Structure 1
């Protein structure tokens, strides 16, 4: 197997196989899963949406200038332009670094297209450089992303089918390494333990930023078992007998337990990431064009067709959480007044634009499954245990979203409220920056969006009388 491959689920795993009846028009709903390989989805049996081996930590020598530019930004500990009390030395350090970036040659990106691993690393490095460049600029300066970064970044992003901006995959999926060597099992190296990870690159260089990324990485790794339960459940749906009902009931109860574990991991971020440090020193680096504090347009120099999808990274870009929604039918259930609006549905779909293309394909495939778990539960003969198991899984997802809102309250809403109080006596420029503080880094109306999605999940619980 080449270095660009990953150890993927074998072809007989239905969940990770494109439906042959859909693609080839097989008769009578027969599903042939024997031909298309799971690399279509880049999902590993041991690590899920994260790669089974640590991502590439450095590009080859041809692109070393990009790596050294990123190294220089991190080593200089460049400061945000919006930092309170920014010194003249800090401003000069940032300007000197940006001047160096502007003088870089435009390195060719074509050879990178032969390797997915190289492309991922290049996207990560160039987007980090771009965010360093933009967010150290004075707010009064227009945003012109210099050609040495803009041209190769747009070309690489087009090949990856990703926007040219920092995404969740840049911060989490492809930004880690192991601390201690791993033992080998019969399949090769065992998956990394949840406490055996560290982040490769950071904006602030703080432990808080690392813990913020690693909380999501740990959720991804713990969620691998959830993906296997989804696969096993979908296999059973095509039988539908009493044994199937018992097995699916057990699978759904176990799924609820795993999602409960995800909630615990999410809340544990509080142990290593200080809310004030996150809000003031980490989160602003993530902002995309639609949450730019000065509402500036981002212009990519040397690029004919200017990119438009320029939101920042968001937990909403995790394919794992979207997969839970699709699998349980939360993505398509009816919504009563006060739930998610059509605009919010669009935002959920838009987050998939920022996922690696293989993971988008996975979600599309999962959503085309001819028989869903929710349909099975509602159409099966009345079975109280099955209904309770399904509702337990739904309620666990709702509890996970409650925990997410709690984290947002601690890390964003609370600090934002305190900031607004401080800005009341500040000048007009500072007040202007403070007006958008409750927008997500992805440009969403944060509180309304999260509560709407949470409420939609709660409404998916099936009442016994509706069976």
Structure 2
């Protein structure tokens, strides 16, 4: 059932996202000045830590105290002292890491923005076909519905975000809505026979407010794991504390396809995050013992590391549970194409050009981009040649953006950093994915990486006297290796295997992109017809023996070039992460 508006009895006006536009339906886009996008004064990420040496008094201190900034409104506990928090625990709320929900926000996600942003919500609702499977915008098919919707986006007014600054949940919702609109706009364009050679222009109605919201959350201007998972779920009981067993997350607020398969895919990651709360608790307790480092503490640490291994195995098993509600063919052919970012065509991707924003501003926010696409000249306008469009190559949502998995790597000192200059996209991927996390979560990982008593150093220092401690540490790493192998099994089943099959007729009816026209046969009537597999959806999912066989085929060159939504050669990247994990072991690793 369609969600109700936040204002009871409010008139709901039908916008031209669903029907051909009529005169007067949209207000004309007025001239605007792109806002200066910088880290706001008083933001805790821009301030020195409390344990740092005192700095000279700032001439702007009184200004910060007298005039609330957007950062002060969102994080008043940090702005009060104008200093970053002196966090000595991995459970600090200043990192937006909750002891009850981990990296998931404890407060329920906002389901609809305030009334003044109804045009955004209506555009998203129309793009999704009002929640009906198969009625949303089509992938790569330039039909009348897609043309009308995109025209509505291009004519949509540029809305200011000032009224969102007092609510962190509403800022998260704004980023979610705008980035879903961004991906609907990009991927409803007709599919080109060859990769795009010029950047795709993104209308100012999306790019200007999105690039204003991004620095307040520390997120890039693209759909992220935070949008699809962290900010996109509701538990069974909305007003009760979320719990893995008693009050699990069961609802995804926004999907591209309206299918239960897509919702289950997101909720599987949500369950992993909620299960990770216990892992974070074990990590926190382990660091407390590392601080003491006496005989009793080392004994306790041994037990904690073995407990952590069990929790990592539990998270890996949840990853495998995605098979219980998400059909691999539906995911690959209907859901996954919407995720692709501006770098999805690999190193030669043209990227996306964010219109209406000063180029310097866009460059400041492109730290998450692998690199700028080559500047290319746009079509000639009436007044002469337009300035060249600069494409930004951001990556789409990926499990590699999960702060939980990065936290396990950091805690166990698994190094994914490139080993030499000129690293490939695969070698730099995990480091680059840090920029796709909310800023407080990046700060948490940085804090975790700089604790004064790292676990690995403590285990190494006591290796001769406590072999059980070494075995427990390696046990945790072995569990992390198993988690990555389980991820590889899912990637093989959901991506590698599906890449070898064209979509079925049933999937095409649901919105999948048909196979290339070249794949045709001549029928008795002399006409060419597209060859579609008659395989049913249920027959596509093979048993474990076939999955294991496909894993043994990882070495095939074609598999190496199947790219993830982050633009990397998928199997090559996953194998690299697994090998880095094995290499961190004290016994049998790289040492």
- Relative to structure 1, the CA distance from residue 130 to residue 236 in structure 2 (aligned partners, 3 Å threshold; closer, same or farther) is same
Aligned to 1:205: 258
Aligned to 2:146: 94
CA RMSD of aligned residues (A): 3.3
- Relative to structure 1, the CA distance from residue 326 to residue 345 in structure 2 (aligned partners, 3 Å threshold; closer, same or farther) is farther
CA contact (8 A) 1:327 1:367 kept: yes
Aligned to 2:324: 271
The worse-fitting range, judged by mean Cα deviation, of 384-393 and 33-42 is 33-42
Aligned to 2:444: 362
State the TM-score, normalizing by the size of structure 2. Answer: 0.66
- Spell out, residue by residue over 1:399-440, the C-alpha distance to the aligned partner (whole angstroms, 9 max, x if none): 0000011100000011112349x669449xx9xxx9997111
Matched, 1:440 2:493: no
- Spell out, residue by residue over 1:18-43, the C-alpha distance to the aligned partner (whole angstroms, 9 max, x if none): 99796359xxxxxx757999333001
Provide the C-alpha distance between the structure 2 equivalents of 1:24 and 1:397, rounded to a whole number of angstroms: 39
Provide the C-alpha distance between the structure 2 equivalents of 1:357 and 1:66, rounded to a whole number of angstroms: 25
Kindly indicate which of the two structures has a greater share of residues assigned to helix. Answer: 1
- Relative to structure 1, the CA distance from residue 211 to residue 35 in structure 2 (aligned partners, 3 Å threshold; closer, same or farther) is closer
- Relative to structure 1, the CA distance from residue 266 to residue 35 in structure 2 (aligned partners, 3 Å threshold; closer, same or farther) is closer
Q: What pairs up with 1:228-377 in 2 under 5 angstroms?
A: 228-292=281-345, 295-305=349-359, 306=362, 308=366, 309=369, 310-331=394-415, 344-377=426-459
Provide the C-alpha distance between the structure 1 equivalents of 2:500 and 2:354, rounded to a whole number of angstroms: 34
Aligned to 1:450: 574
Provide the C-alpha distance between the structure 1 equivalents of 2:487 and 2:239, rounded to a whole number of angstroms: 31
CA contact (8 A) 1:57 1:200 kept: yes
Q: Secondary structure at the match of 2:201?
A: strand
Match of 1:145 among 189, 193, 202: 202
Q: Which has the larger radius of gyration?
A: 2
Matched, 1:23 2:52: yes
Compare relative contact order (CA 8 Å, sep 6+) and give the higher one, 1 or 2: 1
Aligned to 1:61: 115
- Spell out, residue by residue over 1:92-128, the C-alpha distance to the aligned partner (whole angstroms, 9 max, x if none): 1111111121221111112323322121110000000
Provide the C-alpha distance between the structure 1 equivalents of 2:482 and 2:208, rounded to a whole number of angstroms: 43
Provide the C-alpha distance between the structure 2 equivalents of 1:182 and 1:229, rounded to a whole number of angstroms: 27
Aligned to 1:382: 465
Q: CA deviation at 1:441?
A: 0.6
CA contact (8 A) 1:143 1:299 kept: yes
Q: Secondary structure at the match of 1:198?
A: strand
Provide the C-alpha distance between the structure 1 equivalents of 2:417 and 2:215, rounded to a whole number of angstroms: 34
- Relative to structure 1, the CA distance from residue 180 to residue 240 in structure 2 (aligned partners, 3 Å threshold; closer, same or farther) is closer
Q: Which runs of 5 or more structure 2 residues have no equivalent in the other structure? A: 1-46, 55-85, 370-393, 504-514, 521-529, 531-557
- Relative to structure 1, the CA distance from residue 115 to residue 255 in structure 2 (aligned partners, 3 Å threshold; closer, same or farther) is same
Between Structure 1 and Structure 2, how many residues are aligned?
424
- Relative to structure 1, the CA distance from residue 384 to residue 232 in structure 2 (aligned partners, 3 Å threshold; closer, same or farther) is same
The worse-fitting range, judged by mean Cα deviation, of 303-312 and 213-222 is 303-312
Aligned to 1:393: 476
Provide the C-alpha distance between the structure 1 equivalents of 2:474 and 2:499, rounded to a whole number of angstroms: 35
CA contact (8 A) 1:387 1:464 kept: no
Q: Which runs of 5 or more structure 1 residues have no equivalent in the other structure? A: 1-17, 26-31, 184-188
State the TM-score, normalizing by the size of structure 1. Answer: 0.83
- Relative to structure 1, the CA distance from residue 204 to residue 314 in structure 2 (aligned partners, 3 Å threshold; closer, same or farther) is same
Q: CA deviation at 1:78?
A: 2.6
Q: Secondary structure at the match of 2:353?
A: strand
Q: CA deviation at 1:179?
A: 3.0
- Spell out, residue by residue over 1:204-226, the C-alpha distance to the aligned partner (whole angstroms, 9 max, x if none): 11111001100100000000011
Aligned to 2:223: 166
